[in-house]
Amino acid sequence: MKVLVTGASGLLGRTTARLLMARGDDVTVMQRRSAGLDCREVLGDVADPGAVDRAVRGQDAVLHLAAKVDVVGPRNEFEHANIRGTATLVSAARAASVERFVQVSSPSVAHTGRPLCGAGAEPADPVGARGHYSRTKAAAELLALAADAPGFAVLAVRPHLVWGPGDTQLVARLVSRARSGRLPVIGRGTALIDTTYVDDAAAALVAAVDACGPAAHGEALVVSGGDPRPVAEILGRVCRAAGVAPPRRHVPVPLALAAGRAVDLAWAATRRTDTPPLTHFLAEQLTTAHWFDQRRTRELLGWTPEVGLDAGFDALAAWYSRTETSEASS
C-alpha cells in the first residue's frame, strides 16, 4: 500500500512511518523539516496546496498527524496548522482519488473539564474543549469526518497521552521539571489517567489504515493502553525511569487551578511563547480522571496493546541508561 504520513518528525509519526515501512508499505512522509527516514520525503507546510498536492499524488491512504501541539501560542497559528492544514490535505486527497484518510486527533477534543471515566469517543466540541490546541483539533476532526463518503473513507483516531523513549513533549518536560525541583503533585495525585506507550499507539494507527474502508469509517475512536493509573504513580515511574527523584511536594488543587489561570493571563498579555510552568488546562488534566472504554476501538481495528505500561517503563529506563552512558563516553 502507498501511504502518506504527515508529521513524521514527531515521535508518534516517525514510529508509525517506520512500522509501515517495516511491513513493506511504500511510505511517503511530509513535514517542514526532514524526519531522517529512508523513504520518499516531501518537505513543506501542510497548509500549502502545492506541497500537499505533490505529497498525496498516487497515494492509497493518508495518515494525518501533522499539527501544532502546544499549550501556548496565538490562536491563528493553531488554526493554520490544525484546521487549514487538515482542510488542504482532505481536499487534495479527494482530488487525487485517495481512498483512505485517517485523521489523528486527541481525546482532549471532547474534554470540557468534567471527569471522563470509562468514556467512549464523545463528540468533538470546538467550543467547550480547553485551549487553542484542543478546540482547533476538534474543528479539524469534524471537518475531516464531514468529508467521509463512498470511495473516500475517513476515520478519526484519538491516541491518548502517547509517551516513550525519545519523547520531547510529555516525558522530557516532566523529567526536566523534576530535575529542577519544579514538579509537584497537584492534590493527592489519585485521579486515574490512561496513557499509551508509543509502540502501541503506532500499531493502532497502522491498524486504522488497514481497517479504514466500507466497514470502518465516519467515526472517531479513542486509543489508549486501557490500563489507567493514578497520576502520582505515572509521574513517579517516569522520574524513576530517568533516574531522578519523584515529586514529593503537593500543591492544593484550588491553588494550582488559580495559579494556572494567572499564568494563562500573564502569557497571553505578554505574548510569551516559551512553555509556562503551569497552565489551567494542565492543572485540570492532572486532577481530573480521564480513562476510556476501548471496546469499540478494538472491535473495529482488531488491535490490542502489546507492550503495555510496565514493559514501556522498563524500555524508557533502558533508553535513559543508554543515553547517559553515551553522553558520559562522548
Residues with catalytic annotation? 133
Which amino acid, one-letter code, is at 201? Answer: A
Which amino acid, one-letter code, is at 255? Answer: L
220 contacts 145 by C-beta, under 8 angstroms: yes
Which amino acid, one-letter code, is at 141? Answer: E
Backbone angles phi, psi at 189, to 5 degrees: 75, 25
Query: For residue 166, what is the enclosing H or E element?
Result: none
Biggest CA pair distance of the chain: 57
From CA 8, how far away is CA 29, in angstroms rounded?
A: 6
From CA 22, how far away is CA 17, in angstroms rounded?
A: 9
From CA 257, how far away is CA 279, in angstroms rounded?
A: 8
From CA 50, how far away is CA 31, in angstroms rounded?
A: 13
CA 103 from centroid of its chain's CA atoms: 11
Question: Which of 50, 2, 62, 4 is CA-nearest to residue 30?
Answer: 4
Backbone angles phi, psi at 202, to 5 degrees: -65, -40
H helices within 57-166, ranges in order?
75-78, 85-95, 131-146
Give the three cell numbers for residue 144. 475531516
Strands 153-159 and 219-223 turn out to be parallel
Block residue for cell numbers 509537584: 184
Q: For residue 27, what are the contacts with CB-CB under 8 A and spacing of at least 6?
A: 2, 3, 4, 5, 17, 20, 21, 37, 39, 40
